[in-house]
Structure 1
Amino acid sequence: MGGHVTVQHDASVYEQIQSSDQFQELRRRYRSWAFPMTVAFLVWYLLYVVLSGFARGFMGTKLFGNINVALVFGVLQFVSTFLIAWAYSRHAAAKLDPLADELRNEAEGKAQ
């Protein structure tokens, strides 16, 4: 029913892959992108929160019409979130996915 194939994976296959240089390189590539980007985004987000709470005059400065600095910063929070997601997808496709595919193929080969 459903056409699902069940493959029994030996835990030692995963342990071997986890200790491999390829896997460690995959982790390094992921972490070297994800951690700095996470810190940058959190700083950007907290800057918005802190400015909203403690720099009300600045955040209330009208730029044009009824559009003030706070509204622009708020919209930029959404824009930066989408840009980070887009940048990560490009990074993953170029740097992570090829290596992950190699590791998966290796794991599937060892499990059979």
Structure 2
Amino acid sequence: MAARHDPVYDELHASPEFAELRRRQRTFIIPATVAFLVWYLLYVVMSNWAGDFMGTKVVGNLNVALIFGLLQFVTTFALAWVYSRYSTSRLDPLARQLDERFIALAGKSSTGRKDH
């Protein structure tokens, strides 16, 4: 069975606005993912091969490894918060425009069409 394509979606997918939305999304996601993975892998590498440094006590029983581990959580939440702000300001307005256009085009294409 061949996949069916929705002509309204195909039209929106080919639009410059859709391409811009994808470009904006990749502009944030790719660098953020690479940065986070490098930060995480640094923690893993340091834990495996720099044990003396990671075991260095900073305050009381808190050592560098524990602080790095806790910073992984902070980084995760900070990245989610930054992405939420980025999405709200740069992605959502364009996505709303595309959604409104989709609804308008879908409404036009469904009039006069009989679904079976």
Displacement after TM superposition at 1:64 (Å):
1.0
Return the match for 1:109 from 96, 104, 107. 104
Displacement after TM superposition at 1:53 (Å):
0.5
Return the match for 1:93 from 76, 88, 94. 88
Give 1 or 2 for the bigger CA radius of gyration. Answer: 2
1:55 equivalent to 2:50? Answer yes
Corresponding position of 1:40:
35
Return the match for 1:18 from 1, 13, 22. 13
| Aligned mates of 2:7, 2:51 — CA distance in 1 | 58
| Aligned mates of 1:72, 1:53 — CA distance in 2 | 16
- Which consecutive residues of structure 2, in runs of 5 or more, have no partner in the other structure? 108-116
| 1:75-86 to 2 correspondences below 5 Å | 75-86=70-81
- Which consecutive residues of structure 1, in runs of 5 or more, have no partner in the other structure? 1-9
| Aligned mates of 1:25, 1:51 — CA distance in 2 | 39
| Identity between Structure 1 and Structure 2 (%) | 55
| Aligned mates of 1:64, 1:108 — CA distance in 2 | 58
1:65 equivalent to 2:34? Answer no
The structure 1 segments of at least 4 consecutive aligned residues displaced by more than 2 Å after TM superposition are none
Displacement after TM superposition at 1:55 (Å):
0.4
Displacement after TM superposition at 1:20 (Å):
0.3
| Aligned mates of 2:53, 2:83 — CA distance in 1 | 32
Could you list the per-position Cα deviations for residues 62-100 of structure 1 after superposition, in whole angstroms to 9, with x for gaps in the alignment? 001000000000000000000000000000000000000
| Aligned mates of 2:37, 2:78 — CA distance in 1 | 15
Corresponding position of 1:4:
none
